[in-house]
Amino acid sequence: KNLVLLISGRGSNLQSILQAEREQGWGVCVRGVISNRADAAGLDVARAFGVPTQVIAHADFPNREAFDGALGDAIAALEPDVVALCGFMRVLGAAFVDRFAGRLVNIHPSLLPAFTGLRTHARALEEGVKWHGATVHLVSGALDHGPILAQAAVPVLDGDTVETLAARVLLEEHRIYPHAVRALLEGRVQIDGLRTRIRPSSD
């Protein structure tokens, strides 16, 4: 099976997946990491793992359709079974999502369907929720919507700031994302509408 990962920045989720794949021996081929920004620190993470990298800069294209088309062609050339968005900060259009339907997975830093979009940690603090977290979901047409594969909750503590809350959530992201990506790659995900079930791995 082939895995392709998309990043825009730091790449800590990318690192958690590459590390799990290496340590657990998933037996997959990590075909490439693609960034829409040339200065993404995650490109160095990919190189450190010996994974081929590409930059397809959204700024080089006249509109979203052109960017999505070029990005989609680059991904398709890598023949992915799963495309994992790891802090990829561009909204992908419907044609792109359709092209990779069922193979496109994202991690979002909130307990969806709460707090779609940006600034999730700040908004969770503003709303005074007592629990916050992260969600791994298949990408469907609607932003931050689609069948949920995994979620993890963390408590919001007295005195939390955006930074302390984000760090607590990020630890959980690094735990649940590799697990969900592996299950998708191994065909262990059953989907019924928005409801999913992950069968345990045999090992």
11 known member of a binding site: yes
Query: What CA–CA distance (Å, rounded) separates 149 from 135?
Result: 8
What is the number of the residue whose Cβ is closest to ligand GRF? Answer: 87
Q: What angle do CA 180, 193, 94 make, to 5 degrees?
A: 80
Site membership for ligand GRF, residue 107 (CB under 6 A): yes
Q: Long-range contacts for 46-51 (Cβ within 8 Å, ≥24 apart)?
A: 46/5, 46/7, 46/11, 46/14, 46/18, 49/18, 49/22, 51/5, 51/18
Instruction: Report in angstroms how near the CB of residue 12 gets to ligand GRF at its nearest.
Output: 3
Label the pairing between strands 82-86 and 104-108: parallel
Nearest CB to ligand GRF, comparing residues 57 and 76: 57
106 known member of a binding site: yes
Nearest CB to ligand GRF, comparing residues 109 and 146: 109
Query: What CA–CA distance (Å, rounded) separates 87 from 14?
Result: 8
Query: What CA–CA distance (Å, rounded) separates 164 from 20?
Result: 25
The pattern of x and - marking residues 156 through 175 that bind ligand GRF according to CB under 6 A reads: --------------x--x--
Nearest CB to ligand GRF, comparing residues 87 and 146: 87
- Which of 72, 80, 109, 147 touches ligand GRF by CB under 6 A? 109
Q: Return the residues of window 20-59 that contact ligand GRF according to CB under 6 A.
A: 42
CB-CB neighbours of 39 under 10 Å:
10
As annotated, the binding site includes 11-13, 64, 106
Residues forming the site for ligand GRF (CB under 6 A): 9-14, 42, 86-87, 107-109, 170, 173
